[in-house]
Amino acid sequence: MSVGVHAPHVDDQRVGASLRAIRTRRRLRQSDASAAAGIPRGVAIRIEAGRLDRVRFGDIRRYAASLGARFDGHVLWQADLDRMLNRGHARMHEAMSRWLAAVGGWLAIPEVSFALGRERGVIDVIAWHAATRTLLVIELKTRIVDINALMATMDIRGRVARRIALDRGWDPLAIGLWVVVAPARTNARLLAEHATVLRAKFPGDGRTMRRWLAKPGGSVAALSFMPQVRLGDLGRDVTTPRRIRRTRPSVNAGPAADRVARPPRIGVTFGD
């Protein structure tokens, strides 16, 4: 399986996503993979985020090698990389479609591409509520890598949403933006670390969206975990990478039954 990179049509984001997916499949921490490659973790972060313009090819090659892969202008691995990258995202699409259907009143259209001037991309889900003339733009994230990139992406989605709606014959009175995150522990930790800035950007949470979707009124910007979806429903690509070193149990740990890891509920990190 190969993923094209730094050819006439560069796809840096895909290279980063490929290497991140391989590392996750091998259940390695980013710090361990970067140490094995002999590169700073900051370089590994840029590689996995797809910010390759300031990364040397040699560093990408060493990072790929540390994961058992090979980078030679392409990311090469023995498994079906496309299938691995897309499986979790496709399952989120299916879960979101079922959830919107259960709410009722929404027409959901997946994978809506746009090219408006310099703004180009694909919106995961566009949902239209005809009774209230409300448009909802949904971004599905199996893994959060770059908080700044996420916020910039949603700014673009907000700018092009009305034009996309008008092209489909819809004239929205209100537009909502919703970032929906897979309920993985690594996502929960990262979002908790940036809770202040994210809540300023996306004040709504899971409870907000449940009320708003049932009775849309005005614009909304929200971020929450996937509604009614547990880790096992999304496949192994949201499994938390293992730690290489063993950790000692806390002296304050409760009974074994209380220590079993449970997937977070929608919005648990953000006070849902």
| Single-letter amino acid, residue 112 | V
Helices 30-37 and 41-48 pack at an angle, to 10 degrees, of 110
Does residue 263 belong to any structural domain of this protein? Answer: no
pLDDT of residue 43: 93
- The 3-class SS string of 119-170 reads EEEEEEEEEEECCCCEEEEEEEECCCCCHHHHHHHHHHHHHHHHHHHHHCCC
Say how far apart CA 4 and CA 7 lie, in whole Å.
7
Does residue 240 belong to any structural domain of this protein? Answer: no
Say how far apart CA 153 and CA 19 lie, in whole Å.
21
- Phi/psi at 3 (nearest 5 deg)? -130, 120
> Is the pTM above the cut of 0.75?
no
| Residuewise pLDDT in 10s, the chain (272 residues) | 333 333 333 467 778 888 888 888 788 889 999 999 999 999 999 898 888 888 888 899 899 989 888 886 655 554 455 555 567 778 888 888 888 888 889 999 888 888 887 788 888 899 999 999 999 999 998 878 778 888 888 999 999 999 999 999 999 999 999 999 988 777 888 888 899 999 999 999 988 998 899 899 899 999 998 875 443 443 443 333 444 444 444 334 444 434 433 433 333 333 33
Say how far apart CA 171 and CA 134 lie, in whole Å.
8
30 with 61, same domain?
Answer: yes
Tally of structural domains, the chain: 2
CATH number, domain with residue 172: 3.40.1350
Three-state DSSP class for residue 112: strand
Last residue of a domain, one of 63, 79, 95: 79
Are 64 and 38 in contact by the 8 Å Cβ rule? The answer is no
140 with 229, same domain?
Answer: yes
185 with 227, same domain?
Answer: yes
37 with 120, same domain?
Answer: no
Does residue 251 belong to any structural domain of this protein? Answer: no
Last residue of a domain, one of 14, 45, 79: 79
Are 267 and 224 in contact by the 8 Å Cβ rule? The answer is yes
Last residue of a domain, one of 79, 94, 112: 79
The candidate with the shortest Cα–Cα distance to 184, out of 95, 128, 262, 271, is: 262
pLDDT of residue 133: 95
Does residue 56 belong to any structural domain of this protein? Answer: yes
pLDDT of residue 249: 40
**Domain containing 72: what range?**
2-79
Say how far apart CA 143 and CA 233 lie, in whole Å.
15
22 with 125, same domain?
Answer: no
CATH number, domain with residue 28: 1.10.260.40
43 with 93, same domain?
Answer: no
45 with 165, same domain?
Answer: no
pLDDT of residue 16: 83
Does residue 227 belong to any structural domain of this protein? Answer: yes
73 with 111, same domain?
Answer: no
46 with 107, same domain?
Answer: no
229 with 94, same domain?
Answer: yes
90 with 223, same domain?
Answer: yes
Does residue 117 belong to any structural domain of this protein? Answer: yes
